[in-house]
Structure 1
């Protein structure tokens, strides 16, 4: 089978597509033939080894974990002897955070890890990024912001994977939403349900008259200090993108500044959040937007496109 790896930090050119044997599932694992897999901004940052302080965990001089990709959707091709939740032929989706990457033709994953049956009303392409954008944003909005009906949420990067998910989720949760994106994506964010959309190239935060209960910076371009003048007295700033600046602000303002790596939450907590999302997808209340699809052999071009900053919604590798 083919899989994507990187053995050194660098540009998209460091990505290699190699041939390896198809893995055999352990007694508690299923073997998934992957039909679609997510490609995210986080993948490109890991490939580059940025921010550099993150190499303490990723590997100081070269990556410890050389595989790429987390989100996936596919078909169960084989099962281990202890499997009870799945059978051969089931359509499943989920996220593999450690070990075998999802930018591959096959993947083994434990039955009790983050893997569930795919809703029948969505495609493999639509399912593959759910555990990236939707799960992360739902965790922030539900667990950190604790969104209540009538609150006002400011979403920076509203047209991206996390942002487009957050706009939809915040509206379902009863919030008023102001989205920030480039001018070319304003109509897209309005179509997602945003009440107001601002062009990031023309707005100045210190000139905004509105006050928000939550500032959710999905792309790591803002900070608490730059945003506190638009927050209500009890408002919070939150971001899934960690930096030295954000780390310092979390220490100084622990009640106001929130960061979390969603993927390292307890499996039981992630599964509970994911089941909520599955219910919403089954009811057609959520929609995944796919910007571009690539073949696995062209993965480096997917990384190049993400790094242009022009991605709208999600990027997916297909035909694996």
Structure 2
């Protein structure tokens, strides 16, 4: 089969498209014929081995996993004898980041707990764009953010992969949603139902009088104190992604702020799990959210896909069609 492989940490240029042996499923695995995959920030951690702490999971001196790719959508080709949830021919999607990666290939073996049945009302490309970003948004809003109907929610970085899901999922919970993005992305947020949109190139939401019950920081470099200023009493800020300084502020200052005041600062480390994936699937099936795809690339164009993604301006997701 064809697969994208790499043998050392580095830039996207270390990636190569090669012919390798097609895998065989064990008794507890499923062989999936991959139709589509998508890029996430985790792919860059895996590729570059940065931050360095990640190497304790991915390999200290060289990559532990030779084929990148977390999100996939495809068709079940074969099943091990202990597999009970899926059968040959099922259309599935899932997040492989917790079970060996390997999505940028024509075939991949996967434990059944990493998969769910693909919603029938979306394409393979849309399904591949969903797992990591959709589950991250759900966990940030529901589990960390304790979102409730009527909450005023602000999403910073609302036009990217996680952000576009977060806007729609927050709306599905009955929240009033404000999205923050650049000028070029205003129409994207209008199309997915944001109640209010702030163009950060023209105004600073941290200087507004309006305050929020929940802020989801998906991107950006605002200080934690700036976010805290526009939180309501008992409001919650959830750090999902952003600058390195913002990450360390939320990690080390967040617990102190949370213990000494009535506002909470927390970090989200997304964890793939089948239950949450099925919850996102239900949201998609009921039409309360739809995956937003910016660009699609072929498997042979994976270097170009990585280079485009790392520019940081993708509107929604970047998808690889296998």
Q: TM-score higher than 0.5 here?
A: yes
Q: Please give the alpha-carbon distance, in whole angstroms, between the structure 1 residues aligned to 2:11 and 2:164.
A: 27
On the 8 A contact 1:205/1:227 being kept in 2, the answer is: no
Aligned to 1:286: 289
Which residue in 1 is equivalent to 2:186?
Answer: 186
Q: Deviations along 1:246-287, whole A, 9 cap, x unmatched? A: 3212332346122122226xxxxx322222222222222211
CA distance in 2: counterparts of 1:165 and 1:50, whole angstroms: 26
Structure 2 CA distance for aligned equivalents of residues 246 and 5 of structure 1: 35
User: Following the alignment from structure 1 to structure 2, what is the Cα–Cα distance between the partners of residues 95 and 108?
Assistant: 12
Contact (CA 8 Å) 1:77, 1:89: kept in 2 or not? yes
2:47, 2:117 → 1: CA distance?
A: 30
Whether 2:137 is the aligned partner of 1:132: answer no
Aligned equivalents of 1:27 and 1:55: distance in 2?
Answer: 30
2:265 corresponds in structure 1 to 257
Structure 2: state its 5+ residue gaps: none
Q: For structure 1, which segment, 283-292 or 81-90, has the greater mean C-alpha deviation from structure 2 after superposition?
A: 81-90
In 2: Cα distance, 1:253 partner to 1:124 partner: 43
SS class of match (1:235): strand
- Once the two structures are overlaid, the 10-residue window that deviates more, 83-92 or 177-186, is 83-92
1:6 CA drift (Å): 2.6
Query: Given the superposition, is the C-alpha separation of residues 250 and 66 from structure 1 closer, same or farther in structure 2, using an over 3 Å criterion?
Result: farther
User: After superposition, where does 1:169-208 map in structure 2 within 5 Å?
Assistant: 169-208=169-208
**Structure 1 residues 48 and 223: alpha-carbon distance in aligned structure 2, compared to 1, 3 A threshold:** farther
Change (3 A) 1:206 1:220: closer
In structure 2, the residue corresponding to 1:99 is in which secondary structure?
coil
| 1:276 equivalenced with 2:263 (yes/no) | no
How far the C-alpha of 1:100 sits from its partner, in A, is 4.1
Contact 2:94 2:277 in 1 (8 A): no
Match of 1:298 in 2: 301
1:227 matched to 2:233: no
Task: Output the CA distance in 2 between the equivalents of 1:19 and 1:222.
Answer: 45
Runs (5+) with no aligned partner, structure 1: 265-269
Q: 1:228 to 1:61 in 2, by over 3 A?
A: same
What's the CA shift for 1:58? 3.2
Task: Name the CA shift for 1:56/1:220 in 2 (closer, same or farther; >3 Å).
Answer: farther
How far the C-alpha of 1:68 sits from its partner, in A, is 0.8
Shift in Å, 1:5: 2.5
Q: How does 1:1-320 map to 2 (within 5 A)?
A: 1-97=1-97, 98-111=99-112, 113-219=113-219, 221-241=221-241, 243-254=247-258, 256-263=264-271, 270-318=273-321, 320=322
Secondary structure of 1:262's partner?
coil
Choose 54-63 or 152-161, whichever is displaced more: 54-63
